């Protein structure tokens, strides 16, 4: 576990993840970051403890007479072992490896040497991998909603600071930023939004429909 | 029975819930499971009905959750999660499965060391105490605050609404859990 993680997931997002009210794209970032960060894992477990306290003090609802016997009767049923593959694959922590379904990502060029691989897209938002060559910038962009960017390899800097492996940048709709990959190693990030990205440069904007971003 | 020295030097046993769950995990104890069922199933039913499950489906969900508790008992670790938080997490997963037709992404499981089944009593007791503090804090809230907290943990609030809604004192329990994680990492390192 990296000890150097200094940019974490905001508490409210972890609480929403614990409660199951977070979109799939954001949930993927939270689950991936928690796999890398014990500070946020402790926060998640603390929120689950709070959820547990709520459950434990919930008003009891009478059960129908047969339910207990039904469950007790099933205890000797053979247990089918669920094999949910959730282990790290290279730079991809378990939940991300599971989302990639143990395949290598299929990269599509975005221009400027930057590539992306869309992992998930639905009406609630999208999650994608971004590959930025060492020392190169991502086209300037802003976004309607909240954008979470988690570093998996290398690192990047923008107007707000520097981000290393395991760090998460939380950018709201206001921020127009130019993340630039650190020199030395290509940067790979997991990015999630709840709205389509908008690039500010003319050409990327024209190309957006083709890239489905 | 697992015990630890309390502040006045008297041996303090774990809570009933923890002892039931350890008996289920380590000995597949059905009577302990029966007791756990009697405590949690009626609360779970109230909980899943409040989170929007149709009354006809609620008992099916309760049944699924309690069966998962039985089947996944080997993953229960009282050093990091109390029984109630563990069951809460299983219940939320089950309801998300039903609601979204697919599971939510889950963090990598922590690989607990297999040759250490005896939990660190001090850690377990401290976590139990912190959970009691949390429960008391919850019970002291006024009805409006309590309603907001329930909504948050039932998954009825968006993350932007949660920001103003929580306000339970989670700092101490967070540090306590963190200590348990550090200890586990340390042991895993030594095993390598």
A168-180 pLDDT, tens digit per residue, is 999 887 777 788 9
User: What does the alpha-carbon distance between residue A199 and residue A203 come to, in Å, rounded to a whole number?
Assistant: 9
Q: Which residues of chain B from 136 to 175 reach within 8 Å of chain A, CB to CB?
A: 138-139, 149-150, 152-160, 162-163, 166, 168, 170, 173-175
DSSP H helical ranges for chain A: 11-19, 24-36, 38-56, 67-73, 94-99, 202-211
pLDDT for A112 equals 84
The residues of chain B scoring below 70 in pLDDT are: 1-12, 112-117, 165-166, 191-192
A150-164 pLDDT, tens digit per residue, is 999 999 999 889 999
Tokens 């103003």: give the residue.
B164
Q: Name the residue with higher pLDDT: A107 or B102.
A: A107
For residues B51, B52, B57, B58, the Cα torsion angle rounded to the nearest 10 degrees is: 30
Please state, in angstroms and as integers, the Cα–Cα distance from residue B167 to each residue in B66, B129, B132, B152, B164, following that order. 30, 19, 16, 11, 8
Q: pTM value?
A: 0.90
Q: Give A62→chain B minimum CA distance, Å.
A: 6
- Among B43, B107, B158, the residue with its CB nearest the CB of A56 is B43
pLDDT for A50 equals 95
Report residue A8's pLDDT band, with 50, 70 and 90 as the boundaries: very high
ipTM of this model? 0.91
pLDDT for B12 equals 63
B123-136 burial: b if 16+ Cβ within 10 Å, else e = bbbbbbebbeebbe
Substitution target in A27, A29, A45 with the highest count of B β-carbons within 10 Å is A45
pLDDT for A75 equals 95
pLDDT for A210 equals 47
Interface contact flag, A55 B88, Cβ < 8 Å: yes
Substitution target in A48, A65, A89 with the highest count of B β-carbons within 10 Å is A48
A58-97 pLDDT, tens digit per residue, is 999 999 989 999 999 999 998 777 666 788 999 999 999 9
> In terms of residues, how long is chain A?
213
Q: Give B9→chain A minimum CA distance, Å.
A: 28
Interface contact flag, B166 A56, Cβ < 8 Å: no
DSSP state at residue A74:
G
DSSP H helical ranges for chain B: 16-27, 30-50, 55-71, 83-100, 121-140, 143-153, 159-165, 171-191
Beta strand A114-122 pairing with A108-111: antiparallel
DSSP state at residue B75:
G
């Amino acid at each position: 576990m990296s000890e150097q993680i200094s940019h974490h997931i905001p508490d409210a997002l972890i609480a929403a993840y614990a409660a199951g009210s977070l979109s799939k794209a954001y949930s993927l970032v939270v689950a991936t970051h928690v796999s890398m960060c014990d500070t946020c894992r402790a926060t998640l477990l603390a929120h689950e403890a709070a959820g547990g306290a709520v459950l434990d003090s919930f008003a009891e609802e009478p059960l129908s007479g047969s339910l207990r016997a039904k469950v007790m009767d099933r205890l000797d049923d053979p247990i089918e072992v669920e094999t949910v593959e959730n282990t790290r694959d290279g730079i991809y922590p378990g939940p991300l490896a599971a989302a990639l379904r143990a395949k290598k990502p299929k990269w599509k060029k975005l221009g400027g040497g930057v590539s992306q691989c869309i992992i998930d897209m639905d009406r609630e938002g999208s999650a994608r991998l971004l590959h930025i060559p060492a020392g190169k910038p991502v086209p300037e962009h802003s976004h309607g909603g909240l954008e979470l960017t988690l570093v998996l390899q290398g690192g990047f800097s923008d107007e707000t600071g520097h981000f290393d492996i395991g760090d998460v940048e939380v950018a709201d709709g206001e921020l127009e930023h130019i993340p630039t990959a650190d020199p030395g190693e290509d940067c790979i990030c997991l990015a999630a939004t709840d709205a389509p990205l908008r690039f500010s440069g003319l050409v990327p904007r024209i190309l957006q429909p083709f890239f489905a971003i | 029975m697992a015990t630890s020295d309390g502040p006045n030097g008297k041996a303090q046993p774990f809570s009933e819930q923890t002892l039931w769950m350890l008996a289920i995990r380590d000995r597949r104890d059905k009577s302990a499971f029966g007791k756990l069922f009697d405590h949690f199933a009626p609360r779970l039913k109230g909980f899943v009905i409040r989170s929007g499950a149709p009354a006809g489906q609620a008992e099916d969900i309760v049944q699924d959750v309690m069966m998962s508790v039985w089947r996944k008992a080997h993953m229960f670790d009282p050093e990091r999660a109390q029984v109630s938080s563990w069951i809460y997490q299983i219940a939320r997963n089950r309801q998300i499965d039903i609601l979204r037709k697919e599971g939510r992404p889950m963090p990598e499981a922590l690989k607990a060391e297999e040759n250490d089944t005896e939990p660190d009593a001090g850690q377990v007791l401290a976590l139990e105490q912190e959970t009691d503090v949390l429960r008391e804090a919850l019970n002291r809230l006024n009805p409006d605050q309590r309603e907001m907290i329930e909504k948050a943990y039932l998954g009825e609030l968006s993350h932007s609404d949660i920001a103003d809604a929580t306000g339970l004192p989670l700092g101490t329990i967070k540090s306590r859990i963190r200590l348990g994680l550090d200890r586990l990492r340390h042991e895993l390192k030594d095993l390598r």
